[in-house]
Amino acid sequence: MKACVLSAPAPIDRRPLKYVEVETPAPAHDEVLVRVRACGVCRTDLHVVEGDLPSRLPAVIPGHQIVGEVSALGSDAGTLALGDRVGIAWLRRTCGACRFCLSGRENLCERAEFNGWSAHGGFAEYIVAPADFVYSLPAGFQDLQAAPLLCGGIIGYRSLHLAGIENWSGARLGIYGFGAAGHVVIQVARARGAEVYVCTRDRARHQALATELGASWVGDARDVPPVRLDASIIFAPAGELVPVALKGLAKGGMLVLGGIHMSPIPSFDYSLVYHERMIRSVANNTRADGREFLAEAARIPVRTHVQTFRLEDANEALMALQHDAIKGAAVLMIDSN
C-alpha cells in the first residue's frame, strides 16, 4: 500500500514525511483492517512529525482521524462486518486493568496506545485497529466531513464537558484558536444555547468562519472579550495565551487547555486565578466521549468545513496547518466519496 512514513522528526518545512510503498498490515485476532477513505490532519500530527512529542517507533505513519471501510476481520473482531463504514480516532487501545481504566477514565490509561504515534495511523491506504476502539459513524456525514469530527470534534467535546458548565443556555464561552476543534465546538455550544466569544489571530480565514458560525464577538488572539466568560478553551498551542485568557474569565470560571502540547506558560499574578478561577488540561478521550459526541453532532447537525489534500501531499497539509492557512479542517482524501 501507499503511505506517508516519518523516519526522523524534523521541522515540517523540510518535508519529513516520505510517500512510499509499504507492506499492507494484517489484523491481529481482535483487530480489523480498514481501507482508508479519508484522514483528518491535526496539530498533534504536526507535533509528532516535528518531534514535539518524542518518537515511540523507529518509523511511524501519522494520522488519527480516519474514516474507512472494514476490509478484513481478525478471528475475534466483535460485531463488525466487512464493508462497514467506521471511524478511528487517537486513542488506539487501553489496558482495561489500570486504576484509571477501572474508574471510567480510560483516557488516562497507564498503558494507552495512540494511532499515528505509538502505532501506525491513517496517512495510508490501510490501517489495522482494535475492533473495540472503532466507532460507527452516523450516516448523515460524508467521509470528508466526518474525518475532522474524530479528533478536533471529540477533543472539543471533552473540552466542553470539562468546562464544568451545567446550564449552557446563556452561558458565555471563550474559544482561543479557531481551527478544526474550534469550528466544531462553536456549533455544539451554540446549539446548546451558549454565547461564544472567539479570539484568533487569522482575520481573513478564522475570524470570518467564526462570524459565519454564530460567534457573538470575534477578536484578535490577545484581545480581551467585552464580557467576562464562564469558561474558555485554548486550542492554540501557545502558552502565552494562558494569562491572556485568564484576564477574560469571570469569577469561578474554568480555563480548559485543549492541546496535547503547549509552549511554556509565562508566570502571572495570583489575582488572575484568585476568585476560584480554575485551569485544567484535556488528555485524550474515552470511548464514551466519542460515542456521545458523534450522536450529538448528528442531531445538531454539525457541519465541518474542510480543505482537502492528496495523500502524497501530507507535508503540504501540515505546512498549511502550521501557517494558519486552513479554513476549518485539513483532510487527506484517499479514496473517499
* 101 forms part of the interface with Zn ion (CB under 5 A): yes
Q: Cβ–Cβ contacts within 10 Å for residue 57, how many?
A: 12
Question: Which of 53, 285, 254 is CA-nearest to residue 155?
Answer: 285
**Cβ distance to Zn ion smaller for residue 194 or 330:** 330
Grid cell, residue 256, equals 480548559
Question: Which of 234, 264, 239, 262 is CA-nearest to residue 249?
Answer: 234
Q: Tell me which stretch binds Zn ion (CB under 5 A): 39-47, 117-125, 163-171, 304-312.
A: 39-47
**Cβ distance to Zn ion smaller for residue 151 or 318:** 151
Burial of 337 (0-12, 13-18, 19+ CB in 10 A): exposed
Grid cell, residue 279, equals 485551569
Q: Tell me which stretch binds Zn ion (CB under 5 A): 26-34, 145-153, 313-321, 325-333.
A: 145-153
* 163 forms part of the interface with Zn ion (CB under 5 A): no
Pair 242, 280: CB distance under 8 Å? no
Please state the closest distance from residue 271 (CB atom) to Zn ion, in A.
Answer: 34
Pair 233, 175: CB distance under 8 Å? yes
Kindly tell me which residue out of 150, 151, 154, 306 binds Zn ion, with binding defined by CB under 5 A: 151
**Cβ distance to Zn ion smaller for residue 44 or 336:** 44
Cell numbers 485568564 label which residue? Answer: 246
Please state the closest distance from residue 252 (CB atom) to Zn ion, in A.
Answer: 30
* 109 forms part of the interface with Zn ion (CB under 5 A): yes
C-alpha–C-alpha distance, residues 95 and 119, integer Å? 15
Please state the closest distance from residue 138 (CB atom) to Zn ion, in A.
Answer: 20
**Cβ distance to Zn ion smaller for residue 48 or 213:** 48
* 44 forms part of the interface with Zn ion (CB under 5 A): yes
Phi (first) and psi of residue 106, to 5 degrees: -65, -20
Residues from 7 through 36 that contact Zn ion (CB under 5 A): none
Q: Tell me which stretch binds Zn ion (CB under 5 A): 24-32, 49-57, 148-156, 267-275.
A: 148-156
C-alpha–C-alpha distance, residues 137 and 149, integer Å? 10
* 255 forms part of the interface with Zn ion (CB under 5 A): no
Pair 294, 86: CB distance under 8 Å? no
Please state the closest distance from residue 167 (CB atom) to Zn ion, in A.
Answer: 29
Q: Tell me which stretch binds Zn ion (CB under 5 A): 7-15, 107-115, 193-201, 315-323.
A: 107-115
- Could you give the string, one character per residue 55-94, with x where binding to Zn ion holds by CB under 5 A and - elsewhere? ---------------------------------------x
Specify the DSSP class assigned to residue 52: S
C-alpha–C-alpha distance, residues 169 and 107, integer Å? 28
Question: Which of 195, 168, 158 is CA-nearest to residue 294?
Answer: 158
* 98 forms part of the interface with Zn ion (CB under 5 A): yes
Contacts with Zn ion by CB under 5 A lie at 42, 44, 94-95, 98, 101, 109, 151
